[in-house]
Copies of this chain bind each other. A is one copy, B any other.
Amino acid sequence: MTQPARKRLYIQEVSTRDGFQIEPRFIPTAQKVGLIDALSQMGLAKIEVTSFVSPKAIPALADAAEVMQQIRRVPGVEFSALVANVRGCERALAARVDEINIVMSASQTHNRANLRMTCEQSLGVIRQIVPIARGQTAVNASISTAFGCPFEGDIPAARVMELVDQLAALGIERLALCDTTGMANPVQVRRVCAAVVAGWPELTFTAHFHNTRAMGLANAVAALEAGVDHFDASLGGLGGCPFAPGATGNVCTEDLVHMFEMMGYNTAVDLDALIGIALTLPALVGHDVPGQVMKAGRSSRRYPAPDGTESPAASLHRRCD
């Protein structure tokens, strides 16, 4: 008797882009390359390596071309980069990325704050980029604030559907629904994800959550149950959106992988090795990170049973439920 195959889920690492872009301390290029080379051995489906934007705008990622050039390419792992315009697209293509990730927001106010354009202007940029990239690399569109905007509030599911429709019409085949500031809840996630999966079965959808209000993994389960099988996550939970002070970062990769594997899914990720890399992050970035499994250990962790020689008082002191 063979076991039934566990359903495959695709884990996409964003820490070196979504995480590092807001780190106040510049991570030296060699350390970025070392981290990416370690991550590319972990079974991750994709790594968002960096961002090809103005080095004056995001100094933390000013070494985008060098990083892309120096990393080891590993078969089966896609190396992606974020771009904001045609110039960035051309630089990313020259760096031989496997995927271009272009971001726009579901809400006008966030799009203007984040990209200094209207949503229509962002769609115009994407219209220019898709034919340039075609045949050379995949293109993913990330829809920010898809589950809520910190300026405008609720984003109707119909607005997300409208954008998916417009992006599909431009030739986009990969789409990420991003909960940029952690406003999504599981009921909403299930409704929106089920609608886009049913409406555009030919597209590949990624769920991109932040753990701002402790719902990150609950939202991931809701997306999974709605038919999404690609998930963005960030090692150690690095990242976050600077528009929302006090907010914790992206869903933590090793916490997400740990949950999915416990639930019986196949992430293809070497979890113990990934936790080992996560444990190097605080030294790399110079501060603690929000990941929890790296601190508590896997659920399968065993503690030695108390030997029975301690006093009843010491034992009682531990009463827990």
Contacts and interface: CB of A to CB of B under 8 A. Distances in A.
Nearest to A308: B112
A58 interface: yes
Interface in A145-177: 148, 150-151, 153, 176
Given A84-B316, A178-B321, A319-B84, A292 B213 contact: yes
A210 B135 CA distance: 49
Contacts of A255: 213-215
Contacts of A151: 302-305
Contacts of A207: none
B185 A318 contact: no
B213 A293 contact: yes
A243 interface: yes
Nearest to A53: B316
Given A180-B321, A264-B187, A292 B248 contact: yes
Contacts of A246: 295-297
Contact of A211 (B182, B242, B292): B292
Interface string A103-141: 100000100111110000000000000000000000000
Interface stretch (A36-44, A91-99, A195-203, A216-224): A216-224
Interface residues of A, number: 83
B176 A321 contact: yes
A133 to B, nearest CB: 18
Nearest to A300: B153
A186 B259 CA distance: 8
B214 A252 contact: yes
Given A84-B319, A114-B319, A221-B186, A296 B244 contact: yes
A80 interface: no
Contact of A296 (B109, B213, B221, B293): B213
A148 B221 contact: no
B318 A114 contact: yes
B259 A306 contact: no
A321 B214 contact: no
Given A213-B258, A302-B153, A319-B84, A57 B113 contact: no
Closest 4 CB pairs of A and B: A57-B316, A185-B262, A241-B320, A218-B218
18 contacts: A57-B319, A84-B319, A103-B319, A113-B305, A114-B315, A144-B321, A176-B321, A178-B321, A182-B296, A185-B262, A213-B255, A214-B216, A215-B259, A217-B218, A218-B218, A242-B320, A243-B303, A248-B295
Interface of A: 18, 21, 51, 53-54, 56-58, 82, 84, 103, 109, 112-116, 142, 144, 148, 150-151, 153, 176, 178, 180, 182-183, 185-188, 208, 211-218, 220-222, 240-244, 246-248, 252, 255, 258-259, 262-264, 292-293, 295-306, 308, 312-313, 315-321
